[in-house]
Amino acid sequence: MASKKLPKLRMGDLEVEVPIIQGGMGVGISLSGLSSAVANAGGIGIIAAAGIGMFEPDQFTHFKEANKRALGKEIRKAKSLTDGVIGVNIMMAHSDFDDLVMCAVDEGADVVLMGAGLPTKLPGALPLDNLDSVKTKFIPIVSSARAAKIIFRSWAKLYNHIPDAVVLEGPMAGGHLGFKKEQIDDPDFVLEKLLPGVVAEVKIFEDKFDKKVPVIAAGGIFTGADIKKVMDLGASGVQMGTRFVVTHESDASPEFKQAYIDSKKEDLIIIDSPVGLPGRALNGSFLKRISSGIKEKFTCPWKCLRTCDFKHVPYCIALSLTNAKRGDLENGYAFAGANAYRVDKLVSVGELIDELDAEYGEACSS
């Protein structure tokens, strides 16, 4: 691998060549294909656990087993394709959150990111009195300094241990957002404003535990200059989703990728997701149908998300995101970050990382 201008990212004994985490993207957008390509390019490749069992034949009858089996398969496949760093993104809202975390740890995932909720507690099956003995690094995703404080305080008290890193995801991200709708466009909640507060909060715990805890910035990072900007504010790395969707190696269908390329700024909208959070997505015929009041027919065999009010929601999110992943955008929709409209061509993951590295270098010397 050619030497990079971007600095390395260190998390305890884990050294990462390029300080870029590819954000976990369910349903089926970041699996072994994308994650292994990112890991091979020196970053951290993330498999999203959300809806991962939707592609197994027994998804409707044995959903927990299907999820675990599919996650195990994807981790093993990714690891067979790279010697780089592979992790898993698991949303707190999953009704089988604990099982999925244990599956990731047992399969030897290097990192586990926990989002869409406050992970104040870890699964009881972990060695909670000696978390340092676990090889997997645990990384909560937060949207405020307050959330970071609650999680760090809880882990410090319960486990005498703090997270290995933390991702701050701002309101320009794609997918579910940890903000109230009215905060999303409020200038007081932009990533650059939130970041110093999180860095300061984490520093208090770093000092107490004599442990370096990198803060990773996410949401709207598009260029190497954006990476430089957040690093100047105290971030040690970035998490990026949208740009990795439109790569040859991404696990999305060609139609999903093309929808990004064809999108315009006004197509990126905020929806009320059945998960109970706002989400950013690409508008299309499916979402237009839903916003006109039409309810999709579906049966919910298992309630995959704890927070889903499945008797009243107008559609099944797992099903509609599965349709989109497969390329059926008439019966599903694509989550996307606020900058998706700026993507204009398919590139390889290696080309993207090289471009970001060159831009970062330019920003450093200007």
Provide CB contacts within 8 A for 15, sequence distance 6+.
Answer: 8, 9
| Phi, psi dihedrals of residue 363, rounded to the nearest 5° | -65, -35
Q: Binder to ligand FMN among 66, 131, 139, 218 (CB under 6 A)?
A: 218
Q: Quote the least distance from Cβ 290 to ligand FMN, whole Å.
A: 18
Q: Pairing state of beta strands 215-218 and 9-11? A: unpaired
In the list 40, 59, 236, 242, the residue contacting ligand FMN (rule: CB under 6 A) is 242
- The size of the interface with ligand FMN (CB under 6 A), counted in residues, is 30
Cβ proximity to ligand FMN, 208 vs 303, nearer residue: 303
Query: For ligand FMN, which residue of 43, 219, 274, 278 counts as binding (CB under 6 A)?
Result: 219
Residue with the CB atom nearest ligand FMN in the bound state: 23
Output 175 or 332, the one with its CB closest to ligand FMN: 175
270 burial level (CB within 10 Å; 0-12, 13-18, 19+) = middle
Q: Does 220 bind ligand FMN (CB under 6 A)?
A: yes
Instruction: Pick the closer one to ligand FMN by CB: 46 or 162.
Output: 46
Query: Taking CB under 6 A as the rule, does residue 175 contact ligand FMN?
Result: yes
- Four-point Cα dihedral 170, 314, 261, 33, nearest 10: 80
Site string for ligand FMN, 244-283 (x = CB under 6 A): -x--------------------------------------
Toward ligand FMN, which CB reaches closer, 132 or 171? 171
Structural tokens at position 45: 């490749």
Task: Based on the shown chain and the rule CB under 6 A, indicate whether residue 171 belongs to the binding site for ligand FMN.
Answer: no
Instruction: Supply the minimum distance, in Å, between the C-beta of residue 206 and ligand FMN.
Output: 23
Beta strands in 192-264 (DSSP E): 215-218, 237-240
If one asks whether residue 235 binds ligand FMN (CB under 6 A), the answer comes out as no
Q: Per CB under 6 A, does 63 bind ligand FMN? A: no
325 near 256, Cβ under 8 Å?
A: yes
Separate counts of helices (H) and strands (E) for the chain: 11, 13
Structure tokens at 273: 């997701």
For every residue of 296-340, DSSP letters joined together read PP---SS--BTT--TTT-SS-HHHHHHHHHHT-TTS---B--TTG
Q: Which of 18, 20, 25, 227 binds ligand FMN (CB under 6 A)?
A: 25
- DSSP strand pairing (111-115 vs 85-91): parallel
Residue partners of 199: CB distance under 8 A and separation at least 6: 215, 233, 234, 235
CB atoms within 10 A of CB 294: 11
Which of 189/209 has CB closer to ligand FMN?
189
Specify the residue, 163 or 174, whose C-beta has the smaller distance to ligand FMN: 174
For residues 99-158, which are near ligand FMN according to CB under 6 A? 115-116, 141
Radius of gyration of the chain (CA): 19
* 28 binds ligand FMN, rule: CB under 6 A: no
Closest contact distance (angstroms) between CB of 209 and ligand FMN is 25
DSSP state letter for 295:
P
Q: How far is the CB of 12 from ligand FMN (least distance, A)?
A: 22
Residues of this chain that bind ligand FMN (CB under 6 A): 23-26, 29, 48, 50, 89, 91, 115-116, 141, 169, 172-175, 218-221, 239-242, 245, 335-337, 339
